[in-house]
């Protein structure tokens, strides 16, 4: 977000060019694997807080999350994606295909092969080990520097309102804390 000459924050219209996500080739996907609770890119992509790592990918114009059984129902209600896929279903598919204990790379490999994806765009904080494992399976992995989602840099009107309200409440809390500290007396406790 940045200030305009009027001193007001510049916002974007949902139909503006800045709001359009990056166009992907038919064999390409954007991939994130992390917990949205600690990763702003994942929170922006999926639209809900999850404490444990999960898979988000965008292929063509469709956004997917792959969720554990513990989080799948909540994801169906809260995630801002087009499709919510079951992690356990993909693990079962792999076990039936002879993979005794399928790992993250195996699951991603199956997901992407089903959709004809061969090229991945990942954020700068993506796991180097996972990137290497995907490359070993034949995927092209490109690291995209921040901002991973360029559209995050310009805030929508409702985002500006939420940020403004959050700052107002934080200021009230800080002022209350300062008042409480001013009323305290420094000294040893009396017994």
* pTM of this structure: 0.76
Residues 168 and 137 in one domain: no
pLDDT tens per residue, range 163-177: 999 999 999 999 999
Range of weakest confidence among 58-67, 134-143, 144-153, 165-174 = 144-153
Give the model's pLDDT for residue 21.
52
- The most distant pair of C-alpha atoms in the chain lies apart, rounded to whole Å, by 75
Using DSSP, state whether 122 is helix, strand or coil: strand
Residues 144 and 164 in one domain: no
Average pLDDT over residues 136-150: 95
179 domain-assigned: yes
89 domain-assigned: yes
**H-run or E-run covering 64:** strand 62-67
Residues 55 and 80 in one domain: yes
Residues 145 and 163 in one domain: no
Q: How many domains does the chain have?
A: 2
2 domain-assigned: no
Boundaries of domain holding 166: 155-183
190 domain-assigned: no
Average pLDDT over residues 87-101: 97
- The residue whose two tokens read 């169906």 is 76
82 domain-assigned: yes
CB-based contacts of 78, cutoff 8 Å, min separation 6? 47, 48
For the chain, percent of residues with pLDDT exceeding 90: 77
Residues 129 and 160 in one domain: no
- How far apart are alpha carbons 52 and 40 in whole angstroms? 14
pLDDT tens per residue, range 14-32: 333 334 456 788 999 999 9
């Amino acid at each position: 977000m940045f200030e305009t000459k009027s001193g007001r924050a510049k916002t974007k219209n949902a139909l503006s060019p800045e709001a359009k996500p990056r166009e992907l080739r038919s064999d390409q996907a954007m991939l994130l694997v992390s917990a949205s609770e600690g990763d702003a890119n994942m929170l922006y992509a999926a639209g809900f807080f999850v404490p444990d790592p999960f898979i988000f990918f965008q292929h063509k114009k469709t956004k997917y999350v792959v969720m554990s059984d513990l989080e799948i129902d909540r994801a169906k209600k809260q995630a801002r994606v087009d499709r919510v896929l079951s992690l356990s279903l993909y693990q079962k598919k792999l076990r039936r295909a002879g993979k005794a204990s399928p790992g993250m790379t195996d699951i991603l490999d199956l997901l992407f092969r089903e959709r004809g994806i061969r090229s991945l765009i990942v954020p700068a904080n993506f796991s180097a080990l996972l990137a290497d494992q995907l490359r070993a399976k034949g995927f092209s992995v490109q690291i995209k520097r921040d901002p991973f989602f360029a559209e995050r840099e310009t805030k929508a009107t409702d985002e500006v309102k939420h940020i403004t309200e959050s700052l107002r409440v934080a200021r009230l809390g800080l002022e209350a804390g300062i008042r409480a500290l001013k009323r305290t007396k420094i000294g040893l406790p009396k017994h």
